[in-house]
Structure 1
C-alpha cells in the first residue's frame, strides 16, 4: 500500500518522494495535496471533451463539488486515460474547408484585367484573354498589365502575359519599361524572366535612368547584381549625370557600393554638379567632423552650422 501511495504521488506530481528506512513517505508540507488538487481541476475542465474521444464510457468518481477524486487505483487509471485522450485531442488538427473557388464573370473588362494582374488572379486574366482582350492595353498612365504584374512580382502572371504576346518594351508616361518595374519591385525571378525574353537592361526612362539605377535606388541587391552580371553599363549616367555609384553613396547602400567597385565602377566620375561619389563621401565626412568638433557640452551654447553641416544632418535623418 505504501508503494501504491508513492507511485500515485509520483505520477500526479512528476516528483519523487524520499523514503526513509522506517518506510515512511516524506514530502513537503501541502505539496501532494496541492498537486492533486491542480490535476483534478485540469481534468474536470477537459473531461467532457475527452470523453467524446474514448471508446467506452467511464464512471467518474467525483465529490459533491464536482471535483475528481483520487482514492483508488481505478481513479488513477481514469485520470491517466483522460490525460491521454486530451493529448490525442491536442494532436488532432482542425481541417479548414478549402476556400470556395472564385467565380469568374463571363466578361472581364480592362479595369478588371489590370486589377487581376496586380492581385495575381490568373483565372480572370485567362477569361480576359479568351474573349480576345488586348494584352497590351494600357490605362491613362500608359501602364499595361505587364507593368503592374512586374511591379508586384507575380511570376506566373508575367509568364502568361508574355505567352499571350505582351510587349516588354512598352513604356508608360515616365518611359519606364517592364524591366524598370521588375527592378523597382525587387523580384529577381521576374527580372530574369524578362531578360530571357529579350528584355533590354539598357533602356532609359524620362530621367535617363537605367534599370540598374532603379535597382540601386530601391536597394534590391539581387537585381543589381544580376544586371551587372548580364553586362549592364555600370558607369551609365542619368539626366543629372549621376551614375549608380552616385546613388549608392548618397543612399548609403554599402553592399551595393562594394558590388559596383568590384565590377569596375569609377568612383571619380563627376555628375552635372561637378561632384563624384568620392567627393560626396569626403564632403559628408568633413561635415560630420565639423559638427563633432563644434559640439558643446553646454546645451545652452548655440552651435553655428554651415549649410554643408545642415545638409549632412538632413542626409543622415533621411537615410535613417
Structure 2
C-alpha cells in the first residue's frame, strides 16, 4: 500500500555524464561532464513501475521494475524502511551506453536522487547517504561521486562507507571526449582483464602521477601530459580495445594528455586551453581509421539535481 504522504508526488531529475580514472587515478578520480540524462517520476495508485525511454536506450533497456533506475529508487526506499510506491517514469537519455561515460552510474544516481526528492519531508537523505546508496549499487564510488556532486572528485572507501572530496577544476582545462560510433566495452569485462597484483614500481609510479594530476587539474594545467601517465590499468585493457589504444597513443605521441575514459572505449583528452583542444580534435580526425565523434565538453560543476513537483507533468 502506498504511503499516503507520497500521494501525488512528482520529481524531475537531471544527472551529468562522468569520466573516471583520468589515467592514473584508477577507481579514485572522476570528472562530471556537461552532458545530461533527465528523468521525470510520478507516484501513481497502482503498484509496480513503468518506464518510457526516449533517446539512448530506447527499445533496448527494460521498461519495467527491472530497469536500473527503478531498482535504484527501490533500493533507496528500502534503505530507509519505506515501501516504494507505484511509479511512472519518463527517461530522456543522452549519455551513450557502454562507452565509458558513466551511463550506469548516471542511471543509479538518477534513481537515488528521484528517491530523495520523493521522500522530501519524510526522510532527510544527506550527501553521505546519497553516496552510500549509489555506491552500494555501483560497487565503487569513482563514477557516482562526480555524477552526484559535480566537478572533480576524489573518492575512497573508509570504515564508515564511501567518502568524497569535491574540487574545482582550473578554468583553463578544456575537455575533448572521443566516442566511437559502434564499439562498446563492458565495465565487468574491462575489470576482468586486470591482474590481481601489480609490480611495486608501477604502484609507486601511479601514486606519483595521481598526486600530480590533482595539481594539474586544479592549479597547473601545463602538467596535464606528464600527470596522465598510467601503469595500472590501461595497458592491461589495450588488447580488448585496439582502436582506443591506437588513438590514445597517436594523441600522446603528439603531446596531448589522452587517456581511456572510464572503462572505455571512449578517449578523454585533457587540454590546457581551448586552442589545444581544437588541435587535438584535428589529430583525432587525421589519425584514426575508426569513426569517432569528438565532443568538446565543459566540466559540470553542479552535479545531479532534483526538483520536487515540477511544473511540467509526466507524459
- The answer to whether the superposition gives a TM-score over 0.5 is no
Higher relative contact order, structure no. (Cα contacts within 8 Å, ≥ 6 residues apart): 2
Higher strand proportion, which one? 2
Structure (1 or 2) with the larger CA radius of gyration: 1
Structure 1 or 2: more helix by fraction:
1
* TM-score of the two chains, using structure 2 as the length reference: 0.27
